[in-house]
Structure 1
Amino acid sequence: MENYFKSTKENQMMRAYLRKRVHAALDERLERFEALETPEQIAAYQERLKTFFRETIDLDSFERGPLKARVTGKLERDGYSVEKVIFESLPGFSVTANLYLPGGEGPFPGILHPCGHSSNGKAYEAYQRANILLARNGFAVLCYDPIGQGERLQLIDPKTGKKLPGNSSEHLVLGVAPVLLGRSLASYMIWDGMRAIDYLQSRPEIDPDRIGCTGNSGGGNMTSFLMTLDDRIQAAAPGCFTTTTRRKNESPGPGDPEQNLFAQTREGLDHPDFTIMRAPKPTLILAATYDYVPIEGAWDAFRQSKRIYTKLGYPERVDLIEAPEKHGFTRRMREGVVRFFSRWLKGENVEVFEPESVRVEKDAELQCTSKGQVLRMEGERSLFEVNRERANALKAARTEAWAGLNREERREAVREVLGIEPEALPSRMELGGFGSTIASGGGSSEFRELLFEPESGIRLPAFLSRGKAHSEVWARNAPVDLFCFDGRWNFGDVSGLPIFEDYERASSAETIGINLRDSGFSKTKNWRFYGADAWIAHMLGDSYLAMRTRDLISVTKWLKSSPRIESDMQFTGIEVDEPRTKEEEGNINRPIHLHAEDEFVPVALHAAALEPELFESVTLHGGILSWEEVIDSREPIPQWHNVVHGALRHYDLPDLIELIGEGRVTWK
């Protein structure tokens, strides 16, 4: 079986399957783009995508409260000063920032500088250099720590300030729970940026009508999002982020959770659109020749943007810098940004060159909090607590709504959240000519390897094990124990798989073990970022939980209604619509006992809740029984494959147990 799933890095099963879906969606998006000719058509295109963007991150649910801004210290430097600022983007949720102010009298244009993925956030040297160069050229700059960086770490002991154990990036950890709430980690990061603009505009030294935004890498990501959603940003320069989804998905793959918006690919929101949606406002794309963010994609995005700006009559307002360097906010980019903002926010064409010697502060000098972390301040809330507050509000609303639905309406609500059609067809099944007789418990047993095909491009490896003396029991309504697990087997030997340890197989038992997609033999390898395929599915408006649930329902329908599997079969391609004998027609009610372990527990619950007539019983080994566990978990990454966008607006996993039926679910 292992040899069957050997492939190149690029052509692994899920990568190939998702690539086909992504390219189809992007082709549709390109057709819509190519049809844009008039300003009215462009405006409608922009508005549709902006509306979708706001909805997919639940932006309109955020409310502006008091900033409660305060300055905790100030540094006087040659030609500029640096103020240490703390403000609240949400009640009890603080943002640490440095405000660089030029010497002389204002009001000055204000530049928002969201940081990239630096562990020390705003204190990163390249970001300090950019801020200083801008300040010395007459711009006020607010550079703030992103969530999970600098003074805003979320995974620390509040008493000591030490990081909690674990090797994962905070963004990977923090990006899981918001999905269940119908949000994204980007929702909070975008809101931080918008509140930061509120603070900039509140300062008398800053002209509220001349606001710009620039950032690199993760900061380029946030710049792209903010410049699209916040009309106050007059000029913007995103760096080392802009490319195209088609190219980025191949390498390096999807980035951190805040970069990947639910259903953005399905809805036709591609990287060029972040610039197109703000046209014709001035935009400068910063790109690096040797970046891991594909430079070819940056030029593709720029060309599309240039065409739209030209059709609107402002071709000069969009440009691109390609620096012959690797990923980073490098000197050439910093100089180009200052020239760009000077032109569009000050009306000046200037030559700017960064001096070789620049005073860069140590991290502690730029620290805004007294103890180095916001979570060590009295009354401060973590993002976990912010999520919990939102989850509690959703729970109250969904409990009331769920109570008003009958059982079929509840199933329909679950189907709608997952995107599963009730008329899903059974799988095809292939016998690849594999067959063996092995010794088991002192007797002989038949072991066969199978491949199920629930849809084109997806193959699910499985095995059938049963007593050889009972090779015909398949045709006599024999009970089937169906196991979903993430593991590989040696041919004829499943003794090392934990899920089978507490199951004693009788000599007449029919046992099917199956790897649902992207598990066991078909698990994807070699991605730069964890869970990349699941994020690609997320951007398609799908989820691994939904896809695996469809797999399980499809396979079970085949098992309920298939022809018998005999020991002498040596052919492939048993089709579900083949003519059957009268004996075979009687097998429509073959009892299926479902077993699932760990990450497949939510899959089993969904399949049995949506199609309870397919299963006699459901036995669960480990895993979670409520998504509420994910909201509070400091280690939610193992559950990434089991979250569905906005699910906690409608139901939780215990609601599924009620739909399956009393006494039919056992959890071990």
Structure 2
Amino acid sequence: MKFVISILLPVCFSITLFGQDAMLCMGQYWTEDEANVMMKTFKSKWNDLSTWEKRADRIKQGIIEGMQLAKMPELSGNFNAIIRDKKEMDGYTVENIAIESFPGFYITGNIYRPTDQKDKNPAILCPHGHWENGRMREDMQIRCAVFARMGAIVFAYDMVGYGESKQVNHDIPIALLLQTWNSKRILEYLISRADVDSSLIGITGASGGGTQSFMLTAIDDRIKVSAPVVQVSAHFFGGCVCESGMPIHRSEGLQTNNVEIAALCAPRPLMLISDGADWTRNTPQIEYPYIKSIYALYQAEHKLEHVHFPTEQHDYGYSKRTAVYNFFGHHLKLKYGNIPYENKFLEDFVTLLPQEELLIFNGKNPIPQNLLQGNDAVMAYLGFNSE
């Protein structure tokens, strides 16, 4: 069944998206009152670790089947990484990078590394949300630089249709699949690096980047620590095709939401960050207690943290970043002492770079010739009907 829906994105513009079937749960699918009741219904579906894990397996399988992950090509390595323009900063370096997600489709981004890196280092994936300038925003550059100076190798990457990732439009019907697959490929690339400790891999992003964070964490246990920021909601399912444009929340005999998807992180360390001005305003009363009850099944309540900012808005601002610095610092064994501290973390050592210095492809270094260009070409290559 094909249909067309117009929705409102967090950045306040509309797109038209094409859903695969009537099982989609999109945007504010429930009211806050309905979501409160639904969370109690979900809780009635399990009562101990065994029954939760049975439900968790169904949710995970529903995600994998709903986004049609099996259609992606079998790849072993073959990243064909392009790394250029190393920039030496204060305690960290920045390089421009592209890796091949699948033949002819490139993930574009930046690699941040500590100048005093060890033989094996923790690594962090940093996706971004639906904000202008994407990975090149000031808050993205700052958090990546801080993580690097703390001792992590950090991969900041473009959403499809944003930044340099212009082979498809962001409203391509399989955006959710492409972004999850891109994140998976970045994870595998990082693990393949000789300087990365595969037992210490984290992921964090805000808004749509938060969705990417909890989605990859849910289906891939190689993510060891996760911090989705201002996105985990019981009533809001994501306002974009890249978050809810494929049927991952509902299937025959199963209804779930992003709270339970985020809970699939258990018992690995998870931090929720919420604020008072968006769909996460109820997290202290609704989302966090539900996830905490799941962590309790694993005797792992100490691995779950929640920070709520009732007077703040939808962003990945200073207060939210510094909460994650401490959380990742502890669970990824990073070096807190590498960051200046005077009653608070100081980020003024970070040099903000202009966009042109962060681009991997430009007039001097053009994009490779084998690229697939356009929604139809990419969907056809992967075996999807674009009609």
Question: Scaled by the length of structure 2, what TM-score is found?
Answer: 0.82
The corresponding residue for 2:150 is: 137
Equivalent in 203, 207, 210 of residue 213 of structure 1: 203
> How far 1:25 moved relative to its partner?
9.5
Structure 1 distance, partners of 2:359, 2:334, is 34
Tell me by how many angstroms 1:28 deviates: 6.2
Q: Secondary structure at the match of 1:233?
A: coil
Decide whether the 8 Å contact of 1:71 with 1:84 is kept in 2: yes
Runs of 4+ in 1 over 6 A off after TM superposition: 18-26, 347-352
Q: Does 1:319 align with 2:305?
A: yes
| Structure (1 or 2) with the greater helix fraction | 1
Q: Of the candidates 293, 296, 303, which is equivalent to residue 289 of structure 2?
A: 303
Q: Does 2:257 match 1:270?
A: yes
State yes or no: 1:387 paired with 2:373.
Answer: no
Give the deviation of 1:348 after TM superposition.
7.4
Q: Which among 342, 350, 358 is matched to residue 350 of structure 2?
A: 358
How big is each residue's C-alpha offset from its partner over 1:193-226, in whole Å with a ceiling of 9 and x where there is no partner? Answer: 0000111112222111110000111111100101
Counterpart contact for 1:244–1:270, Cα < 8 Å: yes
SS at match of 1:364: helix
1:295 is displaced (CA, Å) by 1.0
- AA aligned opposite 2:204: T
1:289 to partner: Cα distance: 2.4
- Pick closer, same or farther for the CA change 1:378–1:295 going to 2, 3 Å: same
Is contact 1:64–1:90 with CA below 8 Å preserved after alignment?
no
Instruction: Please give the secondary structure, in 2, of the residue aligned with 1:296.
Output: coil
TM-aligned CA deviation for residue 265 of structure 1: 4.2
AA aligned to 2:189 is Y
| Residue type at the aligned position of 1:212 | G
Match of 2:107 in 1: 95
| 1:229 maps onto 2:219 in alignment | yes
Greater Rg by CA: 1
**2:177 equivalent among 157, 167, 187:** 187
Secondary structure of 1:117's match?
coil
User: Following the alignment from structure 2 to structure 1, what is the Cα–Cα distance between the partners of residues 284 and 372?
Assistant: 38
Counterpart mapping for 1:35-54 below 5 A: 35-54=45-64
Quote the sequence identity (%).
24
Kindly report which structure 2 residues correspond to 1:98-247, keeping only aligned pairs within 5 A, or say none.
98-106=110-118, 107-154=120-167, 170-172=169-171, 174-175=172-173, 184-245=174-235
Shift of 1:36: 2.3
Unaligned runs of 5+ residues in structure 2 are 1-27
For 1:239, the aligned partner's letter is V
Match of residue 533 from structure 1? none
What is the match of residue 80 of structure 2?
Answer: 68
Contact 2:129 2:209 in 1 (8 A): yes
> For the residues of structure 2 that align with 1:372 and 1:118, how far apart are their CA atoms?
27
Deviation by residue 1:358-387 (Cα, 9 ceiling, x = unmatched): 31110111111133997x542211343120
Q: CA deviation at 1:275?
A: 2.4
Aligned 8 A contact 2:218 2:265 in 1:
yes
Q: Secondary structure at the match of 2:224?
A: strand
How many Å separate the matches in 2 of 1:148 and 1:125?
Answer: 20
Q: Secondary structure at the match of 2:232?
A: coil
Q: Residues 210 and 83 of structure 1: is their aligned pair in 2 closer, same or farther, counting only changes over 3 Å?
A: same
CA 20–202 in structure 1, closer or farther in 2 if over 3 Å, else same: closer
SS in 2 for 1:150: coil
Per-residue deviation, 1:347: 7.7
Give a deviation string over 1:98-153, Cα, whole Å, max 9, x none: 11001213211000111112332221111001101111111111111111011112
> Residue 68 of structure 2 aligns with which residue?
58
Greater shift after overlay, 274-283 or 142-151?
274-283
1:590 maps to which residue?
Answer: none
- Range with bigger deviation, 349-358 or 220-229: 349-358
Equivalent position of 2:240 in the other structure: 256
Instruction: Specify every segment of 5 or more residues in structure 1 that has no aligned partner in the other structure, as ranges.
Output: 1-17, 156-169, 176-183, 395-627, 632-668
Structure 2 counterpart of 1:385, one-letter code: A
Per-residue CA shift, 1:559-594, capped at 9, x if unaligned?
Answer: xxxxxxxxxxxxxxxxxxxxxxxxxxxxxxxxxxxx
Counterparts of 1:33 and 1:389 in 2: how far apart (Å)?
41
User: For 1:218 and 1:41, how far apart are their aligned partners in 2?
Assistant: 30
Superposition pairs of residues 571-650 of structure 1, within 5 angstroms: 630-631=386-387
Deviation, structure 1 residue 303: 1.0
After superposition, the Cα gap between the structure-2 partners of 1:29 and 1:154, relative to the gap in structure 1 and judged at 3 Å, is same
Q: 1:115 to 1:64 in 2, by over 3 A?
A: farther
2: CA distance, partners of 1:373 / 1:255: 35
Letter in 2 for 1:312: Y
